[in-house]
Amino acid sequence: MWMIYFVTGGARSGKSRFAEQLVARMAAPERICFVATGVVTDEEMRARIQRHKMTRDGRWSTIEEPHDVARLIQEQEHTYNVFLIDCLSLLLNNWMFDLNVDEPEFRRKLAELVHALTVVNADCVIVSNEIGLGLVPADALSRRYRDWLGWLNQAVAQVADKVYFVASGIAVDLKQLPGAQVVQEHFLED
């Protein structure tokens, strides 16, 4: 049975490291695809990406896909049995600032991604930032990014079998907490 794992938390919380450890503990992850949504924008980012690649062994392949993760996992599902997508917050950034998506296009892309995650014949581990715990941003663009990322995270969390929140290097399975309930949002409806 294929599983969807969603890992969220703040910046530098340990969520990416936890996601990689989660994949390493899976039964037989012999064909692992690290789906990198980040793009090299400067030398610091290039060095950061290189350091991340060096921590993974030969079972891992890295595919950079900054825009169409849904298509990628559907096309590559016979090549890999595990996809680690890192991360949704950069994917949304790319949709907003590379592709200039409007809200209807965002909702379509969100629905495509959720659909792909639920039908692919592979385990999926998805990483994202949780940015909705702070102050309300002062400008409209930042508020839109915060809102859309919140909706994207909720949509993935709703279909995920396991949802982990990572803070200070400690992961908690949110769906296993006593009294945990999924809040049904209507962000996919027009």
pLDDT digits (tens, 9 = 90+) for 152-182: 999 999 999 999 999 999 999 999 988 878 7
**Assigned token pair, 115:** 């659909």
Q: What is residue 175's DSSP assignment?
A: G
Q: What is the average per-residue pLDDT within 179-188?
A: 69
What's the pLDDT at 190? 43
pLDDT digits (tens, 9 = 90+) for 125-151: 999 999 988 888 899 999 999 999 999
- Asked if residue 189 has pLDDT above 90, the reply is no
Residue 189 lies in a domain: no
The contacts of residue 62 (CB under 8 Å, 6+ apart) are: 33, 34, 36, 53, 56
- Asked if residue 122 has pLDDT above 50, the reply is yes
What's the pLDDT at 164? 98
Residue 190 lies in a domain: no
CA atoms within 13 A on the CB side of 19: 31
Place 69 in a pLDDT band, splitting at 50, 70 and 90.
very high
**Assigned token pair, 189:** 């409806």
Q: Which of 147, 45, 50, 138 is nearest to 92 (CA)?
A: 147
Residue 187 lies in a domain: no
**Region class of 80: left (phi > 0), else alpha (psi between -120 and 50), else beta:** beta
The total number of structural domains that make up the chain: 1
Q: What is the CATH number of the domain that holds 64?
A: 3.40.50.300
Dihedral of the alpha carbons of 108, 2, 170, 174, in degrees to the nearest 10: 70
Domain span including residue 34: 4-174
For the chain, what percent of residues have pLDDT higher than 90?
71
Residue 182 lies in a domain: no
Residue 185 lies in a domain: no
Residue 124 lies in a domain: yes
Residue 82 lies in a domain: yes
Work out the mean pLDDT of the chain and round it to a whole number: 91
> Among 31-40, 61-70, 107-116, whose mean pLDDT is lowest?
31-40
Residues involved in catalysis:
52
